[in-house]
Amino acid sequence: MTRVLFVCLGNICRSPSAEAVFRGLVRERGLEDTILTDSAGTGAWHVGNPPDERAQLVGRHYGYDMSDLRARKVEDTDFAEFDYILAMDNSNFRNLERMRPSAYAGTLAMMMDFAGRNGEEVPDPYYGDLSDYETVFDMLKPAAEGLLAHILDEMKK
């Protein structure tokens, strides 16, 4: 089982959107028994809440249902449980680097690295409008496809 965790600040916009897009690709290929997905935030402000209504609205428009997701905070144990931990921006990446135990053997990376856009951030749409959420989904799709291709290549080795 390969385990993937998507991380942003509050776990109500970008990381649940990334999880929904990636989970959709995993389901399309019938890999639910092989790849597990989750998302979390480095902050705890929204723990227990569903994704932002705007993220859900745009997600549904793109064919992704994320109504079952609930925000949670990144825990130290996530480094023992997840093979891939993917940050949406530099600030959260740095927070995760500080949390990462020296023995972590998984991959800690930026989400957009898997779209060939190394170091690029997925912008936070929280203070924007629906077009900002659409931009996020448009960015996440090629990154999720690249991530899945990478994981499938690694599984072949």
Catalytic residue positions, numbered: 8, 14, 124
**DSSP string for the chain:** -EEEEEEESSSSSHHHHHHHHHHHHHHHTT-TTTEEEEEEESS-TTTTPPPPHHHHHHHHHTT---TT----B--TTHHHH-SEEEESSHHHHHHHHHH--TT--SEEEEGGGGGT-TTPPPPP-TTS-HHHHHHHHHHHHHHHHHHHHHHHHHHH-
- Location of structure tokens 């949390």: 99
Residue 66 — left, alpha, or beta (φ > 0 → left; ψ -120 to 50 → alpha)?
alpha
